Structure 1
Amino acid sequence: MKSYRILLFLVLANLFWAGNYVFGKSIVETMTPLQMTVSRWCVAVCFLFPITQLIEKPDWRAVLRKWKLLLVMSVFGIIGYNFLLYEALRFTTSMNAALVNAMNPALIMLLSALVLRERVTAKHGVGLVLSLFGVLLVLTKGQLGQLLHLDYNEGDLLMLLAILVWSIYSIVGRRAASIPPIAATAVSALFGLLMLMPFALAFGAFDFEVSRETVTGILYMGIFPSVGSFIFWNASIREIGASRAGIYLNLITVFTAIFSVLMGQSITVAQVLGGLLVFAGVYVTTRQGTDGKRSEGNPATTTRG
């Protein structure tokens, strides 16, 4: 039952993040990345602390004793990734950003092996290849030769930096296993806001045009990807490790394609096939460790040394 709960958490986390791409792109023309980041986490903090107290009832003194670790998580996951993502969306499309994001699982797997010494198995590799191939089919509509002709602009390069920052956040998050996941997210978000506030006041982060579109976008980004995704992601990587969880990040691209269809765009056979391959890759990776003896959530099943 725990494995299905983690599966649900990872699917929902990436579903909400896919919406972050869509809403982020829709309001980046009227708000700066700084305004979007600050507004998003102002909303999130209002929900995170009550939810933390209601569900986890943490020992806040014990949590704050880990302030150095939480500060690092804040710099990379709360400030760095989000600012770079929204800055990238100023110059590139949400689909191009999703294409670059497809490299994230491989980067997390590599860093996990180097830093955490997590064991990379053959099934990990097969799942990764299947998912990445599926993502490329979705994005190129079956014309894989287009990959050789993509014009990587400033936004694409910023997105590369963003996924590097997120990979580091995921590795650091694995070290925060002793901190309740919602409490860790809440305190990290608060630290991020405190660090951003001087810049927000200096550069007018709260001076933007209020419209139905901006309010909807901010509320969505502040509640679903900021609260839901971060809680689900942090809880999941503690159970199965950063490298196994990372393969699910490819679902962002599939969900982005689904959102595109809901917005009136057509879907092709190649996109359907690509989506199935992504899910197949996720399934193969999830099945890793189910053969023979298995200890779900035991660090010994995902790391060496």
Structure 2
Amino acid sequence: MGQIKVWGYLILANLFWSGNLIFGSYVVDEMSPLWITFSRWLLALFLLMPIAYFVEKPNLQTIKKEWFQLLIMGLLGIIGYNIFLMAALEHTSATNAALVTALNPGIIVLFSFFILRETLTRIQVIGLIISILGVMVIITEGNLIAFIDTHYNLGDLMVIITVILWTFYSIIGRKLKTPPITLTAVSTLFSVLLLAPFALSEGISITSVSSMTIIGVLYMVIFPSVCSTVLWNISVREIGVSKPGVSMNLIPVLTAIAVVALGGNITKEQIFGGILVFIGVYLTTGLLEKKMNSRKMQNQINL
């Protein structure tokens, strides 16, 4: 699979995830984090299973051999990540959540280096730094000192936990032989089975759920749950964990764009920060280095 196609997948994955906080802030007022997670992934399962079966035609023996790792992935990336993220929105602001999430790429790169021995080139490291700087410009509105002065709370701690959970989810998925869509479907199946007794025990009042919440859950099902997770796992399988991790810096930028599309305003700090993020992510893709090496080889041939 070509690099451009993989990075196209990552942009789409982050675009869909950027809507997660927007819809999540509405849904969490009417549904508990447990029910948000259970309902969205239960519905997502009905899409993932047939897609995995008809597209990948998975080998059941491979799934049987890797069932425990798939179970752990479900616990980390489906149950843990989503419950902690939705619970975090009850205790912290979207700004703080975005600020803490800026740690995601750095943590993914760090763990990938020590566990998977993945490395980045000098230009890609520069891209990582530039993209993180861009995110900080956006969420602090150009006042980088706010990163230090901001008061953190329980919700911020929960966001840090989601960052760590997603890192290990991605690292485990990188090592498995189960195809990406099947991997997502099976880990989702395990998650739904584990969550079901707790969700049924807690219960939910259907009459208190508004049409806006239903729309929000359906969005989460189709886009972040199915599309983003599948595209992410495909990308991780193709280019490792570190580079997709850097792409997550696109989330605050794409969220700002979505807000503008919905009638909100955009500031010059958001524009400047967004440009930095896109430059940083582009450097991390390795496409610039490939062009430079190709040009260098062409010059040597001409000599």
TM-score range, shorter chain: over 0.9
Q: Which amino acid aligns with 2:231?
A: F
Report deviation, 1:58: 1.6
Contact preservation (8 Å) 1:48, 1:186: yes
TM-score normalised over the length of structure 2? 0.92
TM-aligned CA distance change 1:51 to 1:69, over 3 Å? same
**For 2:41 and 2:156, how far apart are their aligned partners in 1?**
24
**Of 137-146 and 204-213, the range deviating more from structure 2:** 204-213
Question: TM (normalized to structure 1)?
Answer: 0.92
Residues 210-261 of structure 1, C-alpha deviations (whole Å, 9 max, x = no match): 3211110111101100000011000001111101110000011111111222
Q: CA deviation at 1:103?
A: 0.6
Q: Once the two structures are superposed, what CA deviation does each residue of 1:151-184 show, in whole Å capped at 9, x if it has no partner?
A: 11211111011111111111111112x1110000
Q: Which residue pairs with 2:117 in the alignment?
A: 117
- Asked if the contact 1:130/1:277 (under 8 Å) is kept, the reply is yes
Are 1:255 and 2:249 an aligned pair? no
Q: CA deviation at 1:21?
A: 1.1
Q: Which residue of 1 aligns with 2:224?
A: 225
Larger Cα-atom Rg: 2
Gaps spanning 5+ residues in structure 2: where?
295-303
Task: Report the secondary structure of 1:144's partner residue.
Answer: coil
**Taking structure 1 as reference, are residues 151 and 8 closer, same or farther at Cα in structure 2, changes over 3 Å only?**
same
SS in 2 for 1:156: helix
Distance 1:219 1:180 in 2: 25
Bigger helix share: 2
Q: Which amino acid aligns with 2:186?
A: V
CA-CA distance at 1:265 after TM superposition: 2.4
Amino acid in the other structure paired with 1:173: G
The amino acid that maps onto 2:185 is A
Q: Please state if 1:46 is matched with 2:46.
A: yes
The equivalent of 2:25 in structure 1 is 25
204-213 or 2-11, larger mean C-alpha shift: 204-213
Q: Residues 31 and 208 of structure 1 are in contact (CA less than 8 Å); yes or no, is this contact kept in structure 2?
A: no
Deviations 1:251-288 (CA, angstroms, capped at 9, x unpaired): 11111111222233211111101001101001001126
Between the aligned partners of 1:140 and 1:99, the Cα distance in structure 2 is 8
Structure-2 residue corresponding to 1:296? none
- How far is the alpha carbon of 1:206 from its aligned partner? 7.0
Correspondence for 2:301: none
Corresponding residue for residue 89 of structure 1: 89
2:181 is equivalent to residue 182 of structure 1: yes
Take 1:265 and 1:136, find their aligned partners in 2: how far apart are those partners? 20
Q: Counterpart of 2:46 in 1: which secondary structure?
A: helix
CA gap 1:205/1:162 in 2 versus in 1, 3 angstroms: farther
SS in 1 for 2:18: helix
Question: Counterparts in 2 of 1:56-71, with a 5 A limit?
Answer: 56-71=56-71
> In the alignment, what sits opposite 2:36?
36
Structure 1 alignment gaps of length 5 or more:
294-305
Residues of 2 paired with 1:126 and 1:115: CA distance? 22
Equivalent residues in 2 for 1:73-222, closer than 5 Å: 73-176=73-176, 178-205=177-204, 209-222=208-221
Cα distance in 1 for partners of 2:207, 2:28 equals 11
Question: Partners in 2 of 1:206 and 1:179 — Cα distance?
Answer: 38
What code does the residue aligned with 1:239 have? E
1:250 is aligned with what amino acid?
N
Q: Distance in 1 between matches of 2:174 and 2:205?
A: 34
Q: CA deviation at 1:62?
A: 2.6
Instruction: State whether structure 2 residue 276 is matched by structure 1 residue 277.
Output: yes
